[in-house]
Structure formats: structure tokens, C-alpha cells
């Protein structure tokens, strides 16, 4: 059992805190957002994440999990301090480490000898050393403090499962005993533990996300070709996926990747490459294909509306960046809806969880509380997020509610044959 402070209680920090408490550690989660801390201390979890509310409740009840405002409150007793604060995209494309630096400055004079600071946020190569330097410059006795990189690979929607049953645990540290201590926190988790140097650990995270983004852009490029050649990208992806060297995951053609990680992490890796003097045009292409894919969806919807979106009522299903999360950050659905509004469409949207947040995020968007209301009077209905519940609706009712039964399915979620039988015009992606 160790005493752990987790700084930042968002998707990654809260999952880390609750799961480490489940593993038997005594964990204090710290955040600058006072409202969030008060709610968490009452067991109220504001993000949509399977099993997380139960785990937080369990941690609070056992006394192994608590929450405080501000890192300074949490670290003095801690043997480990996990940094789980945001690392958003900076103006130059690189990761903005200002939150990380602010926390490092704040905690430096408070760290007890022997404490290990663990970089769990996604941070570019060199960040373990950077955090070490900031701690040293701000009063930490650095010979007695360890710093390690321990990147996180969880996926929103399955965060708890991914944390407790990960594909691997990666720990990067210069000092072997520091790496061993961090690895031991995961005792009880069945997964390979890769102990390596800090730069390699940091690169593993960026390389993994860039590779997954590449798979998505690759299948989208193939989908675009399939549209010209009368092939069906779903059949193609299936035929490819049976090859164990390729696999089925991330071969779903759609509107392009989004979310709080892939866009900023690909941009940050490109920035790192530029600084290192390497022309990473492969990754540049991945990013370009992705941006064009969002726009290609807008074109499909415009075409379905007869070539001009001005004044056209459009129904939109799904706003989050993928299903089973409430996260709207960098959501392709939001990008597409904004573009439709720019072109003068009257967009009425439905999302199972993110409706209220979308009202704030997208001025001018009419958000309704049920999928049928979203398509009432619409000339085009577009599916933007692959929520399972959207597959099982009454499509006769949908058809009757629409001004013209036309569907642009940016997620290939619905059954084209079934819809056509019911009198819909249907267009998907790459099929």
C-alpha cells in the first residue's frame, strides 16, 4: 500500500485515483476546480464513464480515496504524485506544458524526500527531464526526488477497464529503483510492464496515438477511393482485418478522428519532428486526410440537400467525438455541425448525453431531447456519432417526420438496404 496524490481529476486523473484506490493504495485526488472537488467528495462523478461512479463510491466508503482543492493540499504526505493535468495544443502546434509547469512549481518545495513524481499526462519527449529541472529550480531537493514517465493508454468510455486490465504498463525512468517503485503500484494488474528510459516511454505514447490516427486516415482514404470504384469499404476492412498483422481495430471509415487526444498529439509529434529536423510527411498526410474527411462529410450533406445548404433544415444525430462518452472536445461531429451552420443550414441536433453541453459549445445550434424531434421537418438527416441506440429507432416514424427522407450516415451505422426499402435515400462513407 502506498500513499498517492493525483493532481488533476479529469478523465485520466479521476480514473487513475479511483483505480489506484481499488488496488489498495491510499489516494488523494487534487484539482483546482473547487466545484468538481466538492462534488467528487460527495461521490458525484460528472463525466460519463462506465464503472467510475461505483469505484469512486467504493474508494470514499473505504477511506482510501479523498479529494482536495489544489495540489499543495495533497502532496506533503504522498510517496507518489501523479500529474494528470491537461497538455493542450499550443499555438505552435506543440504541447502546451504550462499546467504541468505550474503544478511542478507549486509542489516542488512541498515534496518529502523519497517522493516520486509521475508524469501521466501525455507529454513530449524531454518532459521527464523538464519536470525534474522545474522541481530542482523551485526548491525540491532533487537528489532525493524521483521523476518517471508513466503514459496512460485508456480510452474514454472504457477507462476503468482499460486502467485495471491494460494492454501494457509503460514506465520510463533514469533511476531503476524509481521505475521499480512505480511498477509496484500496479501490482494486482495483469499486464506486461515495460520499463525503459524516459524518452522512449514518452515516445511510445505519441507513436501509439499517431499510429492509430494513421490507421483511421488510411481507411478513410481507402473509403474515398471505394466511392469512386464501386467497392464497399466495410467489406474491404473486414477482408483486411482478418490478417493478424493488420487487425480489425480502427479500420472504420467515417468522418475522421477527433477527441481530446489524437488531434493534439499528432500535432505535437509533428512539432517534435520539426524541432528535431525530421520531415515527418507521412504524419502530415494523416492530419491532412483527416481535416479533408470532415469537409468531405459537409460536401456529402450539401449534395444531399441539392447543392446549397442555405435555409435547409438538417437533423443531426450524435455530437460527441465517439459513442459512450460525453466528451465534445475536438469532436468531428461538432466541426461538421459548425460548418453546416456557417453555410446557413438550420441544424437541429440530438445526442444521448451531450445535448446541454453542446448548447454552450455551438452557438446557433438547436439541441433537442429526442432523435425524432431532431429530424422533424428535416430535408437531410446526418448520423455523426455511432451511438448504438440510433440503430434501433422506428425508421418509419423517422421517414414520416422528415420533409424528405434522405440520410447521410457519416458513421456507416445504419442498414442501407433496410432504409432504402423504407423509401429513404441513403449515403454512407466508402460504400
> What's the burial of 128, exposed, middle or buried (CB within 10 Å: 0-12/13-18/19+)?
buried
| Nearest to 184, CA basis, from 304, 39, 80, 94 | 80
Residue 30: CB minimum distance to ligand NAD, A:
5
Strands (E), 85-168: 116-119, 146-149
Stretch that binds ligand NAD, among 5-13, 139-147, 368-376, 395-403 (CB under 6 A): 5-13
Task: Name the DSSP class of 317.
Answer: E
Contact region with ligand NAD (CB under 6 A), list: 29-37, 303-311, 313-321, 360-368: 29-37
CB atoms under 10 Å from CB of 27, counted, come to 27
Binding flag, residue 12, ligand NAD (CB under 6 A): yes
Shortest distance, CB of residue 11 to ligand NAD, whole angstroms? 4
Judge contact between 185 and 173, C-beta under 8 A: no
261 is catalytic: yes
Report the alpha-carbon distance of residue 419 to residue 409 in Å, rounded. Answer: 11
**From the CB of 234, what's the least distance to ligand NAD, in Å?**
26
CB of 247 to ligand NAD, least distance (A): 20
Q: Does 33 bind ligand NAD (CB under 6 A)?
A: yes
353 binding ligand NAD? (CB under 6 A): no
Is 87 a residue that touches ligand NAD (CB under 6 A)?
yes
Q: Which is nearer to ligand NAD, 10 or 94 (CB)?
A: 10
Judged by CB under 6 A, the chain residues 239 through 268 that form the site for ligand NAD are 260-261
For helices 11-22 and 52-62, give the axis angle rounded to 10 degrees: 50
Q: How far apart are CA 253 and CA 217, in angstroms?
A: 8
> Bridge partners of 408?
382, 427
Determine, following the binding rule CB under 6 A, whether residue 59 of this chain makes contact with ligand NAD.
Answer: no
Q: How far apart are CA 413 and CA 212, in angstroms?
A: 21
The residue nearest ligand NAD at its CB is 10
Interface stretch with ligand NAD, choices 24-32, 137-145, 289-297, 397-405 (CB under 6 A): 24-32
> Where does residue 403 rank: exposed (0-12), middle (13-18), buried (19+ CB within 10 A)?
middle
The answer to the question of residue 156 lying near ligand NAD (CB under 6 A) is yes
Q: Is 10 in the site for ligand NAD (CB under 6 A)?
A: yes
Binding mask of the shown chain, residues 116 to 145, with x at each position contacting ligand NAD by CB under 6 A: -----xx-----------------------
Name the catalytic one among 28, 84, 226, 261. 261
Grid coordinates given for 184: 509496484
For 365, which DSSP code? -
Beta bridge partners of 314: 347, 380
Q: Is 154 in the site for ligand NAD (CB under 6 A)?
A: yes
Report the nearest approach of ligand NAD to the CB of residue 38 (Å).
13
d(CA 61, CA 273): 47
Answer left, alpha or beta for residue 230, where phi above 0 means left and psi between -120 and 50 means alpha. left
Residue with cell 440530438: 350
CB of 124 or CB of 405, closer to ligand NAD = 124
Our finding on whether 331 is near ligand NAD (CB under 6 A) is no
State yes or no: residue 31 binds ligand NAD (CB under 6 A).
yes
Catalytic (active-site) positions: 261
Which residues form the interface with ligand NAD (CB under 6 A)? 7-13, 30-33, 36, 71, 84-87, 99, 102-103, 121-122, 152, 154, 156, 260-261
Amino acid at each position: 500500500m502506498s500513499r498517492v496524490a493525483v493532481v488533476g481529476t479529469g478523465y485520466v486523473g479521476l480514473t487513475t485515483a479511483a483505480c489506484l484506490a481499488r488496488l489498495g493504495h491510499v489516494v488523494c485526488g487534487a484539482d483546482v476546480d473547487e466545484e468538481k472537488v466538492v462534488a467528487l467528495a460527495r461521490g458525484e462523478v460528472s463525466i460519463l464513464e462506465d464503472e467510475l461512479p461505483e469505484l469512486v463510491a467504493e474508494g470514499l466508503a473505504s477511506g482510501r480515496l479523498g479529494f482536495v482543492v489544489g495540489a499543495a493540499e495533497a502532496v506533503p504526505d504522498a510517496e507518489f504524485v501523479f500529474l494528470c493535468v491537461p497538455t493542450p495544443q499550443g499555438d505552435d502546434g506543440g504541447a502546451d506544458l504550462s499546467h504541468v509547469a505550474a503544478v511542478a512549481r507549486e509542489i516542488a518545495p512541498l515534496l518529502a524526500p523519497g517522493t516520486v513524481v509521475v508524469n501521466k499526462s501525455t507529454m513530449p519527449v524531454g518532459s521527464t527531464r523538464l519536470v525534474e529541472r522545474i522541481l530542482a529550480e523551485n526548491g525540491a531537493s532533487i537528489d532525493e526526488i524521483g521523476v518517471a514517465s508513466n503514459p496512460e493508454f485508456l480510452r474514454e468510455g472504457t477507462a476503468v477497464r482499460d486502467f485495471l486490465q491494460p494492454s501494457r504498463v509503460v514506465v520510463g525512468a533514469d533511476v531503476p529503483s524509481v521505475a521499480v517503485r512505480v511498477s509496484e503500484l500496479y501490482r494486482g494488474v495483469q499486464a506486461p510492464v515495460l520499463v525503459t528510459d524516459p524518452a522512449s516511454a514518452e515516445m511510445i505514447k505519441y507513436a501509439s496515438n499517431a499510429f492509430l490516427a494513421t490507421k483511421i486516415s488510411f481507411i478513410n482514404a481507402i473509403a474515398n477511393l471505394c466511392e469512386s470504384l464501386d467497392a464497399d469499404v466495410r467489406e474491404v476492412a473486414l477482408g483486411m482485418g482478418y490478417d493478424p498483422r493488420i487487425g480489425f481495430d480502427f479500420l472504420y471509415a467515417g468522418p475522421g478522428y477527433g477527441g481530446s487526444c489524437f488531434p493534439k498529439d499528432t500535432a505535437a509529434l509533428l512539432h517534435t519532428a520539426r524541432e528535431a529536423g525530421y520531415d515527418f510527411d507521412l504524419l502530415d498526410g494523416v492530419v491532412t486526410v483527416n481535416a479533408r474527411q470532415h469537409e468531405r462529410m459537409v460536401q456529402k450533406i450539401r449534395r444531399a440537400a441539392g447543392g446549397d445548404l442555405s435555409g435547409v433544415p438538417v437533423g443531426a444525430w450524435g455530437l460527441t467525438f465517439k459513442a459512450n462518452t460525453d466528451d465534445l472536445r475536438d469532436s468531428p461531429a461538432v466541426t461538421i455541425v459548425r460548418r453546416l451552420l456557417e453555410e446557413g443550414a438550420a441544424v437541429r441536433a440530438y445526442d444521448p448525453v451531450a445535448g446541454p453541453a453542446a448548447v454552450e459549445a455551438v452557438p446557433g445550434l438547436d439541441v433537442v431531447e429526442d432523435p425524432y424531434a431532431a429530424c422533424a421537418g428535416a430535408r437531410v438527416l446526418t448520423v455523426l456519432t455511432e451511438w448504438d441506440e440510433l440503430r434501433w429507432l422506428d425508421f418509419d416514424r423517422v421517414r414520416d417526420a422528415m420533409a424528405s427522407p434522405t440520410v447521410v450516415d457519416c458513421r456507416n451505422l445504419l442498414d442501407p438496404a433496410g432504409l432504402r426499402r423504407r423509401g429513404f435515400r441513403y449515403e454512407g462513407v466508402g460504400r
